[in-house]
Amino acid sequence: MAQSSLDVLLKGSSGKSTRGLLRIIILLTIAAAAVASRLFSVIRFESIIHEFDPWFNFRATKYLVQNGFYSFWDWFDDRTWHPLGRVTGGTLYPGLMVTSGVIYHILRLLTIPVDIRNVCVLLAPGFSGLTALAMYLLTREMSHSPSAGLLAAAFMGITPGYISRSVAGSYDNEAIAIFLLVFTFFLWIKAVKNGSIMWGALTALFYGYMVSAWGGYVFITNLIPLHVFVLLCMGRYSSRLYISYTTWYALGTLGSMQIPFVGFLPIRNSDHMSALGVFGLIQLVAFAEFVRAYLPGKQFQKLLTSMVLLTFGLGFTGLILLSVSGVIAPWSGRFYSLWDTGYAKIHIPIIASVSEHQPTAWPAFFFDLNFLIWLFPAGVFMCFQNLKDEHVFVIIYAVLSSYFAGVMVRLMLTLTPIVCVAAALALSTIFDSFLVMTKPTPESKEKANADKSKAFSSTKKPVVGIYSYFSKAIVTGSLTIYLLMFVAHCTWVTSNAYSSPSVVLASRLPDGSQHIIDDYREAYYWLRQNTEDNAKIMSWWDYGYQIGGMADRPTLVDNNTWNNTHIATVGKAMSSREEVSYPILRQHDVDYVLVVFGGLLGYSGDDLNKFLWMVRIAEGIWPDEIKERDFFTARGEYRVDEEATPTMKNSLMYKMSYYNYNSLFPAGQAVDRVRGVKLPAESPTLNTLEEAFTSENWIIRIFKVKDLDNFGRDHSNAVSFDKGLKRKRATKKKGPRVLRTE
Amino acid sequence: MRFFTATVLGLLTSSLAAATNLTSPSRLALPADFKPQQVFKNTNLVRNTNLEKGYVRETINVVVENIDKQAQSDYYIPFPSDVFERVGGFEVRDKKATDKGRFVVDATEVVSASGNQYFIVHLPEPLAPKSQITLGISYSVLNSLSPRPATIGQSDKQYLHYAFSAYVPSAYQTITQKTKVKFPSTDVPDYTTTSDLKSGADPERKGATFTYGPYDTAKVVPGTEYPIAVRYEFTNPVVTVHLLERDLEVSHWGGNLATEDRYWLRNNGSELTGQFSRVDWTFANYQRAPTSAVREITYPLKPGSVDPYFIDDIGNVSTSRYRPGNGKTAGNLELKPRYPIFGGWNYSFKVGWNNDLAAFLRETAKPDSWVLKVPFIQGPKASEGVQYERVVVRVVLPEGAHNVRFQTAEGSSSNGLPGANQIHASLSSFKTFMDTLGRTTLTLEVDGLTDEARDAELIVTYDYTLMDALRKPLTLFGGLLSVFIALWAISNIDVSIKKR
């Protein structure tokens, strides 16, 4: 400020526009940084869709682009869940696909030749840039400090907690949902502040978009009513609140019901009842307020309050009764598992088998949020100091999402935005106090006191100023270091933890050059090119979407997991003896069975390591036939070597994994590099399946299901005949020989 | 959008096609009982059948004499109609004056009585009575080799079976003829030995070359067949490109020639008896044993080719390597398919790269007229040969290019392409990168090529003026200007309901 030459630019009305311009430039730079930091995988590998679920979204988007919106809406997919099929159009959140479809068509209209794959790959980074902007808007509503919004935008742009779900190629619902979440909250705050129908309607509009995009919309459905409820309880009812809430609820609920997958859930499902309840409550409160305006009196108010509580209680019991009687759908399993982390493991193993549904490990908070995690409580505390309606929202959001993030790893994603807001509030306060050259003057003291007098008396305190340059330098210096470390940490985490497509694996050769292990696509492409168009592929459900997307072949089960019994059937086929499995395979028209085997390469995410989940899920349906205990040795170990239990050794999964594996090694020296054990000297024999394809590093093994034997023998006899073995006597009868009469 | 493109395209084609030499091959219809008139006599005929590659390459040298009283100019060459469709790169020259170029050849429809289809060779000058001319006929026959046995083990030798007639099919009487068959190796376990056609051993074996004949066939009726079958070792893949789509995109602004080749490839060799065994393949690969599977594809590129890519339907194929040539020498793109392609297996992929346009394009003496010289196909280079069932070459010229003509470069020997009148050519419009009019696109379709056409050059001439080049910048400028004006106009409209 000492430079007078800059005064023209920084003061007065031109100063205002200078700052505005500067802010726009900063925001655009933040958005660019947010996009750029998500491109590691594109640069390192290629523009490719990552992991599992994105492959389905990509396939659905291609279908949408090729066949148009209406046939997408009515899409019945007979290439998954064979032989059941899936009513895909009615069981997905179409927001993501429609968004990229619209972008694609706009670009095509401008005759820019863009591939739909590239639109899909780059959608998440693009929207993360928008999220940073939305974050700026949201935080600006919380604080007067101009730096808070910018800091929050910067944090949101690069924090790993959000990057984990939005790197290029991670084409999942969360890619656009987090932007919608933040923006809906911004609109809501705006609506509450202004009491404007326009903002309320906009909130509802974006809420509807959010509903179409992600199942996590329930978070908004519950958070906004909770905010209103808390405000009501704090005695902060206002016509602003009434207008914004009723507008949002009426329009938003109608909007959300337009999505076939959601349908009538908003009025029938327990998850949505709090919004309805608060809607009723706010009518009562509004009525009471209206009456009170005409009939003041303490007695009346007490009566009214008790009336309100009574009605609420009645409504609540009615709700419980309706739930019990079944009119309102009971809480879903995923909901219960939010409150009891052990629930899923016992009752619904299929939910527990997904790694992202596990409770969060504590270091994950630091890993994903770095220094924001300890600024977070400070920011929440500052909201208490300045407790306006919007700050109540921040506090509620912070408390709820902290809990959820602790329960389930993937919900770290909903925690991240509020952490960024709170941390930015805290940090901007620190910077606003420490990063000024001028010392506090008595004048400003008075002014500050005047400001404070409006706030709560409990938060009133003498004004504090920083006089020493030394302490200013120390604090700002250390915070700058923290910020720099934050950037370094984010870059490191993004680069190392979140940028692997997981379809393609990278390793380093001894000379330091990158070697790409591309077994998945090798095998999928083989299936795509060299099997019949409707050959049914059976694999564990993890690979269902990838097979559908890359191999373009029908699958039995996929990551949609809507039918637990069907998955358990596959689990049973994998974990039973061949004699049991073969009829199951035949009944389901299976042509090929695909297993993932990491033993040669030391790739730990293979099917044998997931095997126990298959057993558990199958056991849930057939407790008499499949028993988890049988797969453990007497000492309770899960082993695959010589000591493995007979059930284990005879299971189809074990046989397929190790079939013919020992011939790669000198006799008796076959080693499984994942489990680090020496394998039995003899290869398992397969009678009903034959090896059809094995990828270069053995990660994917595909087996063809044999047809029935031409001579009507059973397969084990046929195989031993082909090998030239003597036919086994069917049964050794101990009694005397008798003439067969029949 | 599509409809719009279609309309523009329709308008454009009609306006542009007028000034070009575009043809679509037509086949002459012949009467149902047509038989060529016996106006010629083949005095001497030598057929060389080359079986070294995955397709059959035949060159026939024949001395033709006019036995009619009038000068004759149309020489008929018959093929059974199922073979006719598989004949590629058909070319006839005067053997004594090969540098005079190829003769014009027409194809005919099936003659229902005989089941034959004919190539009609139009001699440039009618052959006077009693005079002779030596014709050099060359062509290749695709998909005429069948693996026997049809299924083999993964590391077994592969054998191919080829059947032909000892008497070369001809519409005319042939006095003497012989056939030389060249095999890839001396391992020929089965072959027909004739007993009554000539004295002495037939065929005569000399290394990998078998000679059937010479036969004295003056009394044999034209069209008589004497079936011969040979079976020989060919432990190489029979690489068949079911369809090749090749795009050449010319950009004057960028000074760039972008090429993309899309292949739908198949191995027509013996299929596997059982299933694929990775263990066996690993060991065989380690020993570099000969195999009937496609292990690697070498793809030579022109000098100065940059940014090559090798992708398929599901993304980049990481197992490829580009060895760029230094300056003048050609670069090599070494492609390794995702999996070895055994008999009966398919593989489809795309490769593409960029070149500096200056090496391929120059302005002619006439201003605003340009001539582009590019390889017709480039394709993999392999000793076992590659056959292309169908090739579609698309040359995308800059927006506004007109007066498009094409020709293929002719040398003194066959370039592997059929005559220009057998190439189906059409003009269309292709909209990309904010084109308003669409880019003029020349599409050439040819059936039945072999990798001999790798040396063939395509020459395209077209007119392209400065105004054509400036169209896009001006359009963009105008478009943005109108957007800004519209925005300014909208921002000036007062829609508030408040009173000010």
What is the value of ipTM here, to two decimals?
A: 0.90
Interval A95-132: pLDDT, tens: 999 999 999 999 998 888 899 999 999 999 999 999 99
Say if residue B203 is preceded by a cis peptide, omega within 30 of 0.
yes
Q: Report pLDDT for B481.
A: 96
Q: Which amino acid is at B38?
A: Q
When pLDDT is cut at 50, 70 and 90, the band that residue B18 belongs to is very low
**Smallest CA–CA distance from A516 into chain B, residue:** B318
- The mean predicted confidence, pLDDT, of chain A is 86
How many structural domains is chain A composed of?
1
Interval A597-628: pLDDT, tens: 988 888 888 899 999 889 988 988 898 888 88
What integer is the mean pLDDT of B148-172? Answer: 91
Check: CB of residue A43 under 8 Å from CB of residue A125. Answer: no
Say whether pLDDT at B12 is over 60.
no
Counting residues of chain B whose pLDDT is more than 90, the rounded percentage is 48
Domain assignment of residue A618, yes or no: yes
* pTM (two decimals): 0.89
Q: Touching check for A698 and chain B: CB below 8 Å? A: yes
Residue A589 is part of which domain span? 519-722
Cα–Cα distance, A97 to A86 (Å, whole number):
17
Quick one: which of A687, A699, A476 has its CA closest to A585? Answer: A687
SS3 A551: helix
Which residues of B are less than 8 Å from A695 in CB distance? 278, 339
Cα–Cα distance, B391 to B409 (Å, whole number):
18
Domain assignment of residue A82, yes or no: no
Q: What is the DSSP letter of B111?
A: B
Domain assignment of residue A596, yes or no: yes
Quick one: which of B440, B393, B406, B407 has its CA closest to B261? Answer: B393
More confident residue, A424 or A285: A424
Which residues of A are less than 8 Å from B338 in CB distance? 518, 521-522, 525-526
Interval A430-484: pLDDT, tens: 988 888 877 666 555 445 554 545 545 445 555 567 778 888 899 999 999 999 9
Cα–Cα distance, B464 to B397 (Å, whole number):
9
What integer is the mean pLDDT of A679-690? Answer: 87
Q: Touching check for A516 and chain B: CB below 8 Å? A: yes
Name residues whose C-beta falls within 8 Å of residue B325's C-beta, 6 or more positions apart in sequence: B301, B303, B304, B305, B331, B332
Q: Which amino acid is at A181?
A: L
Q: Among the ranges A671-675, B390-394, B413-417, which has the highest mean pLDDT value?
A: B390-394
Q: Report pLDDT for A462.
A: 58
**First-to-last C-alpha distance (Å) of chain B:** 45
Residue A200 token pair: 């309320």
Q: Tell me whether residues B274 and A690 touch, CB distance under 8 A.
A: yes
Angle, in degrees to the nearest 10, between helices A174-194 and A116-140: 30
HSE-CB at A191 with a 13 A cutoff on CA atoms is 29
When pLDDT is cut at 50, 70 and 90, the band that residue B176 belongs to is very high
Say whether pLDDT at A742 is over 80.
no
Beta strands at B40-50 and B173-182: parallel, antiparallel or unpaired: parallel
Cα–Cα distance, A243 to A199 (Å, whole number):
10
Q: Report pLDDT for A434.
A: 87
Say whether pLDDT at A63 is over 60.
yes
Q: What is the DSSP letter of B472?
A: H
Q: Tell me whether residues B338 and A704 touch, CB distance under 8 A.
A: no
Domain assignment of residue A678, yes or no: yes
Which residues of B are less than 8 Å from A528 in CB distance? 313-314
Q: What is the four-CA torsion angle of B29, B31, B32, B35, rounded to 10 degrees?
A: -110
Beta strands in B204-345 (DSSP E): 204-206, 209-216, 227-233, 239-251, 256-267, 271-272, 297-301, 306-312, 315-316, 320-323, 331-335
Q: Report pLDDT for B461.
A: 93
Domain assignment of residue A687, yes or no: yes
Residue A45 token pair: 């590998």
Say whether pLDDT at B251 is over 80.
yes
Say whether pLDDT at A498 is over 60.
yes
How many Å lie between the alpha carbon of B247 and the closest alpha carbon of chain A?
Answer: 15
CATH of residue A636's domain is 3.40.50.12610
SS3 B383: coil
Residue A734 Rama label (left phi>0; alpha psi -120 to 50; beta): alpha
How many Å lie between the alpha carbon of A111 and the closest alpha carbon of chain B?
Answer: 5
Say if residue A113 is preceded by a cis peptide, omega within 30 of 0.
no
Cα–Cα distance, A247 to A134 (Å, whole number):
22
Q: Report pLDDT for A267.
A: 84
Interval A230-250: pLDDT, tens: 999 898 889 999 999 999 999
Counting residues of chain B whose pLDDT is more than 70, the rounded percentage is 95
Q: Touching check for A691 and chain B: CB below 8 Å? A: yes
Q: What domains can you pick out in chain B, each with its CATH number?
A: 2-24+237-474 (2.60.40.1730), 40-233 (2.60.40.1730)
The secondary element (H helix, E strand) that includes residue A268 is: helix A265-268
When pLDDT is cut at 50, 70 and 90, the band that residue A4 belongs to is low
How many Å lie between the alpha carbon of A522 and the closest alpha carbon of chain B?
Answer: 5
Interval B179-211: pLDDT, tens: 999 999 999 999 998 888 887 788 888 889 999
Domain assignment of residue A578, yes or no: yes
SS3 A511: coil
Q: Which residue has the tokens 């060919």?
A: B234
Q: Tell me whether residues A664 and B338 touch, CB distance under 8 A.
A: no
Cα angle A172, A177, A180; round to 5 = 155
Q: Report pLDDT for B392.
A: 95
Q: Report pLDDT for B275.
A: 86
Q: Report pLDDT for A186.
A: 96
Q: Touching check for A505 and chain B: CB below 8 Å? A: no
Say whether pLDDT at A351 is over 80.
no
**How many residues are present in chain A?**
742
Q: Which amino acid is at A29?
A: T
Q: Tell me whether residues B275 and A113 touch, CB distance under 8 A.
A: no
Say whether pLDDT at A573 is over 50.
yes
**Smallest CA–CA distance from B272 into chain A, residue:** A692
Check: CB of residue B159 under 8 Å from CB of residue B234. Answer: yes
Domain assignment of residue A143, yes or no: no
Cα–Cα distance, A75 to B317 (Å, whole number):
32
Say whether pLDDT at B16 is over 50.
no
**Smallest CA–CA distance from A515 into chain B, residue:** B318
Cα–Cα distance, B462 to B459 (Å, whole number):
10
Say whether pLDDT at B98 is over 90.
no
When pLDDT is cut at 50, 70 and 90, the band that residue B3 belongs to is very low
Cα–Cα distance, A703 to A654 (Å, whole number):
13
Burial (Cβ within 10 Å: 0-12, 13-18, ≥19) of residue A460: exposed
Cα–Cα distance, B231 to B234 (Å, whole number):
9
SS3 B207: coil
Cα angle B213, B217, B218; round to 5 = 145
Q: Tell me whether residues A529 and B348 touch, CB distance under 8 A.
A: yes
Domain assignment of residue A293, yes or no: no
Of B318, B344, B432, the CB nearest to A516: B318
Mutation target among A121, A198, A546, A696 for the B interface, most CBs of B within 10 A: A696
Q: Report pLDDT for A1.
A: 42
Q: Report pLDDT for B8.
A: 36
Say whether pLDDT at A27 is over 90.
yes
Which residues of A are less than 8 Å from B315 in CB distance? 46-48, 521
